[in-house]
Amino acid sequence: MPYQKFLDAYGEIHDLRMTASVLHWDQQTQMPPGGGEARGRQLSTLGGLIHDRMTSAEFLGLLADAEGADLDDDQRAAVETVRFAVDRATKLPGSMVREMTLVESRAFGAWIEARQARDFSIFQPHLERIIELTRQKADCFGWKDTPWNALVPDYERGIDARRIASLFAPLRSFTVDLLDKIRGADQISTRFLDRQWDLGAQGEFGRRLIGDLGFDYSRGRIDIAAHPFCTNFSVGDVRITSRFDHRNPFEYLFSALHETGHALYEQGFRPEDERTPLAECPSLGLHESQSRFWEVTIARSLPFWKHYGPIMAGYFPGNLAGVDAGTLYRAANRVEPGLIRVDADEVTYNLHIMIRFDLELALLERRLEVADLPDAWNAAYKDFLGVTVPHDGDGCLQDVHWSSGAFGYFPTYTLGNIYGAMMTRRMEKDMPDLWDKVGRGDFAAVLEWLRTRIHRVGMRSLAMPLVEEIAGEKLTVEPLMGQLGRKFTDIYNL
């Protein structure tokens, strides 16, 4: 049967990819520094094998046979998913892929060095080469309006720069306006946070919360890593990481809950879809909508803290004596325009994304020279956030994305917030007692709502049509603005 033959061949490619994920996870969490070079070789060998298999005449033949067969809807979706990936891969000449890999691995090293030295000039020639190659890559894919449009489908299909800009424009003026009002209000003190927080207790409280949200420890685990992430090797094995800060318990907590949101998605694929193209997420924006939903919408809500404030105090009796739930809630939601995207609060976060979107468009369209990036970056931070960038390490060198050629990636973070708010509005209609449930630490129905509508769908639908169907409305930034407006008007008494 052609479909089964195709699926068997795909399964082997999938196994190779998951094996690479195990090596990558180990590299980030366990591996001693001495293993670095060999691990790089092992990953590169596996990457080459995966690419060769995926674009081999044999696999393309099996794919074509499957496409010609009589397929049901699920099988059709699986075949189309692979066709999209294969077409992207085969449009790029092998020589370009190899050069890209080499340039990116050197650029990554230069980026680390430049960031530490706070010296953009170390990274500049590498970024220039990356942008040149990325433009060539866009030309291979073919594009309309802007080369950026050729790159974004690797992360989010069915959207283009114009659509993103039309969502970002109203969100920007809304956010700047809200931020102005917050600046004029009484500020939130987080002084009670600034003390030693026992790492053992942080880990235990975190594990308890993650379990309460629905993370299945028999099908996953949590470890420590410098950069929090989530990865999966199968539906039965999903790994998350977080990092500790001795003087801020929220760092571990919210990083872990963010990654838990990603993990709940991956533990939620249908077991019978395992090792098929259906047990995947159709977009980064949709994946991010899940992490932000749990981290921000749920875990930074007042009902959540009314329930978990006293429980947290049990883990940190010395630190939280006399600190009430409202204080914890306000501290978890303090707004402060800053330099660093990953530390940004819920209100200013999207401004960081808009800055990167504008700049990467300008770089790819050659309206901005790489040499002028630091100045343009610093001017944008002044303009959007009112902050002065002291050095490039906290400025245009802070993110890893461009060093790996990931242009088109950044807007998916804000799309995740937009999708999440659209879903939440719908969830509140479907489940009038949603916030009562959260206030009791009961998340089973919330998780089940997400499982049936999103997680179990896997690759059966692209992200945007799925969200629009669930929400019952076209893609809109209005629910996100409503959510932010209500919450922060209340917190800051605006």
Catalytic sites, residue numbers:
259
Q: How far is CA 187 from CA 109, 332, 334, 492, in A?
A: 40, 13, 8, 8
Residue 289 binding Zn ion, by CB under 5 A:
no
Give the residue among 482, 461, 450 at the shortest CA–CA distance from 291. 450
Q: Which is nearer to Zn ion, 262 or 306 (CB)?
A: 262
CB of 415 to Zn ion, least distance (A): 12
Residue 255 binding Zn ion, by CB under 5 A:
no
Supply the DSSP string of 409-457, one letter for each residue: -THHHHHHHHHHHHHHHHHHHH-TTHHHHHHTT--HHHHHHHHHHTGGG
Residue 416 and residue 142: Cα distance in Å, rounded? 26
Q: Which is nearer to Zn ion, 291 or 414 (CB)?
A: 291
Contact of 289 with 416, CB cutoff 8 Å? yes
Give the residue among 341, 343, 301, 336 at the shortest CA–CA distance from 179. 336
What are the φ and ψ backbone dihedral angles of 17, each rounded to 5 degrees?
-65, -40
Q: Which is nearer to Zn ion, 409 or 492 (CB)?
A: 409
Using the contact rule CB under 5 A, the part of the chain among 25-33, 105-113, 283-291, 470-478 near Zn ion is 283-291
Q: Which is nearer to Zn ion, 306 or 356 (CB)?
A: 356
CB of 92 to Zn ion, least distance (A): 27
Q: Which is nearer to Zn ion, 251 or 392 (CB)?
A: 251
Using the contact rule CB under 5 A, the part of the chain among 186-194, 290-298, 433-441, 463-471 near Zn ion is 290-298
CB of 409 to Zn ion, least distance (A): 11
Residue 231 binding Zn ion, by CB under 5 A:
no
Using the contact rule CB under 5 A, the part of the chain among 137-145, 213-221, 288-296, 321-329 near Zn ion is 288-296
Q: Are strands 237-242 and 230-234 parallel, antiparallel or unpaired?
A: antiparallel
Residue 302 and residue 328: Cα distance in Å, rounded? 9
Give the residue among 478, 432, 477, 430 at the shortest CA–CA distance from 450. 430
Q: Sketch the per residue contact string, 424 through 443, with Zn ion: x for CB under 5 A, - otherwise.
A: --------------------
CB of 480 to Zn ion, least distance (A): 17
CB of 258 to Zn ion, least distance (A): 6
CB atoms within 10 A of CB 177: 11
Give the residue among 277, 273, 251, 285 at the shortest CA–CA distance from 353. 285
CB of 433 to Zn ion, least distance (A): 28
Using the contact rule CB under 5 A, the part of the chain among 83-91, 105-113, 291-299, 479-487 near Zn ion is 291-299
Tell me the number of residues near Zn ion by CB under 5 A: 1
Q: Which is nearer to Zn ion, 293 or 304 (CB)?
A: 293
CB of 246 to Zn ion, least distance (A): 24
- What residue number has its CB nearest to Zn ion? 291
Q: Which is nearer to Zn ion, 256 or 427 (CB)?
A: 256
What are the φ and ψ backbone dihedral angles of 403, each rounded to 5 degrees?
-70, -20
DSSP character at residue 295: I
Residue 290 binding Zn ion, by CB under 5 A:
no
Residue 202 binding Zn ion, by CB under 5 A:
no
Residue 306 and residue 199: Cα distance in Å, rounded? 23
Give the residue among 229, 296, 289, 242 at the shortest CA–CA distance from 265. 289
Using the contact rule CB under 5 A, the part of the chain among 35-43, 289-297, 468-476, 481-489 near Zn ion is 289-297
Dig out the tokens for 469 from the structure: 């169907």
Q: Which of 291, 301, 348, 403 binds Zn ion (CB under 5 A)?
A: 291
Reduced to 3 states, what is the DSSP secondary structure of residue 45?
helix
Q: Sketch the per residue contact string, 310 through 329, with Zn ion: x for CB under 5 A, - otherwise.
A: --------------------
Residues binding Zn ion (CB under 5 A): 291
